[in-house]
Amino acid sequence: MPEFSATDCVHMAHALRLAERGLYSAHPNPMVGCVIVRDGEVVGEGWHKVAGEAHAEINALNVAGDKASGAIVYVTLEPCSHHGKTPPCCEALIRAGVSEVVVGLRDPNPDVNGAGIEALAAAGIATRVGLMRHEIEKLIRGFLSRLTRHLPLVRLKMASSLDGCIAMSNGESQWITGVEARADVQRLRARSGAIMTGIGTVLADDPSLTVRDASLQAAGKQPLRAVLDSDLRMPLSAEMLALPGKTVIYCAEDSRKSALLDAGAEVIKIGRGNGRLDTTAVLRDLAGRGVNEVLVEAGPALAGSLIADDRVDELVIYQSPHIMGSETMGMFRTPAWTRLADRKALDIIEMRRVGSDTRITARLAG
């Protein structure tokens, strides 16, 4: 592990903050930030805004101009060495005459994976790798999940009362939580490559699953809508089929396929496991489509089976300060859990007030 100074940390933290600005727009690419420093002065900064457009390093070099010569470059992710949609950043850094590149995280993308660092070193540029690595991994964990596990990060969002109810027995659930919590869900949607739900939720609530908040700079993209629908019961009149963005329906039985194709949906036939759709196959398909993070907004059946199958990486519960009582629906359907020992332990990552509700972020305890 190379040595890093306090000044190095300040500049990399700055680059990390810049990277975060791509939260809603950079995916399927990773969020990346870059800061260029000469003689202790920041002469350039940039971040990756939209896939297909300039990378963070290029944006920072454009700001620095001639001042990049002899400068130190701090970049959260290894610069690319390959021609993708844009030319390789390594070439630009070499051409600009920078003296050193400090890299947060080596890019696990098989097209890069150390080749960028090697190209810089081969051109006589000093490199140091690994500064704030854990913070950067946390920020782009969806991207890392897709590249290394070939699965997106799965974030399950629920809205419940303090006594764990998500709806009345008759299905009434609008609204369990307040406007601030619902605005927060818009931010979860905007950072996600796909929103996943079950056909039960579609039939009960006819949700749109879109990002409606124009202030979320998602570069006009709508997350893909993924519906788990074993028997292809999706109504042709479903709201989401008429909205901007793509709806993909995963089923095991596709006799109604052509009508749904006509309605604008994509229909994918997937196998069953344990009598249910094989969610791993669905998630692999989504990863193959470039989805880094999938947000699950579903009812107790899908939520329960994802939890029981350990398919949830992050659980986000918006807990409203109400008691809803007994004539209600619970959060997770888990018919196989009959003993207390069957319960799942969580690591609580954060509890935060959002309006009058409490947002609880948790991971399944290892």
Determine, following the binding rule CB under 8 A, whether residue 262 of this chain makes contact with a second copy.
no
Contact pick of 30, 250, 300, 354 for a second copy (by CB under 8 A): 300
Binders of a second copy among 95-154, rule CB under 8 A? none
Stretch that binds a second copy, among 127-135, 142-150, 233-241, 319-327 (CB under 8 A): 319-327
Copy the structure tokens of residue 78: 């290894």
| Interaction pattern, residues 345-364, with a second copy; x per rule: CB under 8 A | xxxx--x------x-x-x--
Characterize the bridge pairing of strands 247-251 and 224-228: parallel
Copy the structure tokens of residue 11: 């500049």
Binders of a second copy among 193-232, rule CB under 8 A? none
Active-site position among 57, 78, 297, 314: 57
Smallest separation (angstroms) from a second copy to the CB of 202: 21
Smallest separation (angstroms) from a second copy to the CB of 294: 19
Cβ nearer to a second copy, comparing 66 with 350:
350
Smallest separation (angstroms) from a second copy to the CB of 205: 14
Determine, following the binding rule CB under 8 A, whether residue 317 of this chain makes contact with a second copy.
yes
Separation in Å, CA 192 to CA 26, 80, 210: 11, 24, 11
Q: Is 266 tagged catalytic?
A: no
Cβ nearer to a second copy, comparing 107 with 313:
313
Spatial separation of the C-alpha atoms in residues 304 and 284, rounded to whole Å: 20
Pick from 355, 338, 336, 328: nearest CA to 160: 328
Transcribe 241-283 into DSSP letters. Answer: GGSSS-EEEEES--TTHHHHHHTT-EEEE--EETTEE-HHHHH
Burial of 250-285, coded b for 16+ CB within 10 Å and e otherwise, reads: bbbebebbeebeebebebeebeeeeeebbbeebbbb
Find how far residue 241's CA is from the centre of its chain. 23
Determine, following the binding rule CB under 8 A, whether residue 321 of this chain makes contact with a second copy.
yes
Separation in Å, CA 113 to CA 82, 163, 292: 11, 48, 18
Stretch that binds a second copy, among 46-54, 129-137, 194-202, 344-352 (CB under 8 A): 344-352
Contact pick of 82, 256, 284, 344 for a second copy (by CB under 8 A): 344
Spatial separation of the C-alpha atoms in residues 209 and 207, rounded to whole Å: 6
Cβ nearer to a second copy, comparing 175 with 242:
175
Cβ nearer to a second copy, comparing 176 with 190:
176
Contact pick of 1, 3, 40, 343 for a second copy (by CB under 8 A): 343
Binders of a second copy among 144-183, rule CB under 8 A? 160-165, 168-170, 172-174, 176
Tokens 């919590």, residue?
Answer: 181
Contact pick of 119, 132, 331, 354 for a second copy (by CB under 8 A): 331
Tokens 């990002």, residue?
Answer: 211
Q: Is 97 left (phi over 0), alpha (psi -120 to 50) or beta?
A: left
| Interaction pattern, residues 27-56, with a second copy; x per rule: CB under 8 A | ------------------------------
Cβ nearer to a second copy, comparing 288 with 325:
325
Cβ nearer to a second copy, comparing 111 with 309:
309
Determine, following the binding rule CB under 8 A, whether residue 338 of this chain makes contact with a second copy.
yes
Residues touching a second copy: how many (CB under 8 A)? 48
235-240: list long-range contacts, CB under 8 Å, 24+ apart: 235/202, 235/203, 236/260, 236/263, 238/202, 238/206, 239/206, 239/207, 239/208, 240/202, 240/206, 240/207, 240/208, 240/209, 240/210
For residue 237, the tally of other CB atoms under 10 A from its CB is 9
Catalytic residue ranges: 57
| Positions in the binding site for a second copy (CB under 8 A) | 160-165, 168-170, 172-174, 176, 300, 304, 307-308, 317, 321-328, 330-335, 337-340, 342-348, 351, 358, 360, 362, 365
